[in-house]
């Protein structure tokens, strides 16, 4: 069988003895080139998914596993997921804030760059809000939890990134449908 070129106008052309397409001139794509481009696209997609998965893991690592909660007049450590809305959390210097909340006592400089991009820590005093996952740089804070678990901004960001990774853009679905028909056909013809 003679080698064939697939034109961008959707027609096929047979390659003549001098190496030029026979028939009307057209922009051409060889079937092997098409297969290579599709495979390159699939590889790039897989690489992007791997890097997104790493980013999700890094975001999840920002959440502290444990929190110091005031219960019955005592400070105890509990899993961060066990903190309820309205409970009081103690955040020491150098610790991550386990929940979204309002500072009710103490003063500290809190690094919130993970959500705001602000490179400098922000001073938080009673009445100010703090974001779960941010780092208390200095000063002891007593925080009343206003959002915990899946209600935090960090959890919502992780959810949106996972949702975006799982879905495909409409144009990507179209390309997948076209390539599922075209690539096996062009591979058979070559």
- 185 with 6: CB under 8 angstroms? no
Is residue 144 very low, low, confident or very high in pLDDT (cuts 50, 70, 90)? very high
User: In the predicted model, what is the mean pLDDT of the chain?
Assistant: 76
Q: What sign results for the dihedral spanned by CA atoms 53, 57, 60, 62?
A: negative
The 10 Å Cβ neighbour count of residue 14 is 12
Closest among 45, 32, 52, 39 to 186, alpha carbons compared: 32
Q: And the tokens for 111?
A: 């690094």
Q: Cα-Cα-Cα-Cα dihedral of 84, 85, 88, 89, to 10°?
A: 70
Give residue 141's pLDDT: 94
pLDDT category of residue 16 using cuts at 50, 70 and 90:
low
Residues 170-190: tens digit of each pLDDT: 767 776 776 666 555 444 444
User: Does residue 32 register a pLDDT over 80?
Assistant: no
Its pTM surpasses 0.75 = no
Residue 47 is predicted with a pLDDT of 84
Measured between alpha carbons, how far apart are the two ends of the chain, in Å? 8
User: What is the per-residue DSSP string for the chain?
Assistant: ---EEEETTS-EEEB-TTSSBSSS---EEEHHHHHHHHHHHHHHHHHHHHHHHHHHHHHHHTS-SEEEEEETTEEEEEEGGGPPTT-EEEE-TTPBP-SEEEEEEE-EEEE-HHHH--SS-EEE-TT-EE-TT-EEEES-EEEEEEE-GGGSHHHHHHHHHHHHHHS--HHHHHHHHHHHHHHHHHHHH-
């Amino acid at each position: 069988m003679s080698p064939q070129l697939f034109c961008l106008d959707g027609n096929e052309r047979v390659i003549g003895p001098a190496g030029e397409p026979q028939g009307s001139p057209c922009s051409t794509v060889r079937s092997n080139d098409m297969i290579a481009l599709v495979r390159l696209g699939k590889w790039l997609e897989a690489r992007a998914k791997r890097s997104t998965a790493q980013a999700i893991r890094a975001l999840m690592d920002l959440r502290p596993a444990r929190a110091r909660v005031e219960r019955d007049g005592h400070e105890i450590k509990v899993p961060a997921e066990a903190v309820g809305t309205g409970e009081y959390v103690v955040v020491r210097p150098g610790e991550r804030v386990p929940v979204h909340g309002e500072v009710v006592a103490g003063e500290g400089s809190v690094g919130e760059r993970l959500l705001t991009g602000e490179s400098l820590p922000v001073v938080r005093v009673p009445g100010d809000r703090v974001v779960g996952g941010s780092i208390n740089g200095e000063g002891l804070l007593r925080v009343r939890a206003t959002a915990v678990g899946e209600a935090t901004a960090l959890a919502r960001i992780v959810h949106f990134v996972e949702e975006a990774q799982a879905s495909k853009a409409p144009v990507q679905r179209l390309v997948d449908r076209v390539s599922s028909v075209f690539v096996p056909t062009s591979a058979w013809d070559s």
